[in-house]
Amino acid sequence: SQQGEEDPQALSIQEGENATMNCSYKTSINNLQWYRQNSGRGLVHLILIRSNEREKHSGRLRVTLDTSKKSSSLLITASRAADTASYFCATDAVIQGAQKLVFGQGTRLTINP
């Protein structure tokens, strides 16, 4: 079954509002990453948070990680129309000596002007 699951699957908000997306996973991880994808385009790495970190900031992005609950959240503050995209969390684990990313289903974020 999938490692990362995201909630909500779709989110539509007004420009200027904050957007929060959640991700849950099932197994132990080394780190968790968030990616952004515009429709039909490549994945863009946003932020990585290690398993021993609880919160990380990058510009308008704030990521939290709760390893006891196996969950993470991505907060985008002061949203802009250009933030419209799909956002994926991906968990990283070492399996039999090899590292692998497993992606969640993604949250489709729409920012309405």
Which residues of this protein are in contact with another protein, per CB under 8 A?
A: 2, 30-31, 33, 35, 40-45, 48, 50, 88, 94-106
Closest to another protein by CB, 42 vs 113, is 42
Query: Smallest distance, Å, CB 30 to another protein?
Result: 5
Query: Smallest distance, Å, CB 94 to another protein?
Result: 7
Q: How far is the first Cα of the chain from the last one, in angstroms, to the nearest whole number?
A: 37
Q: How many CA atoms lie within 13 A of 109 on its CB side?
A: 30
Query: Smallest distance, Å, CB 110 to another protein?
Result: 15
Q: How many CA atoms lie within 13 A of 100 on its CB side?
A: 11
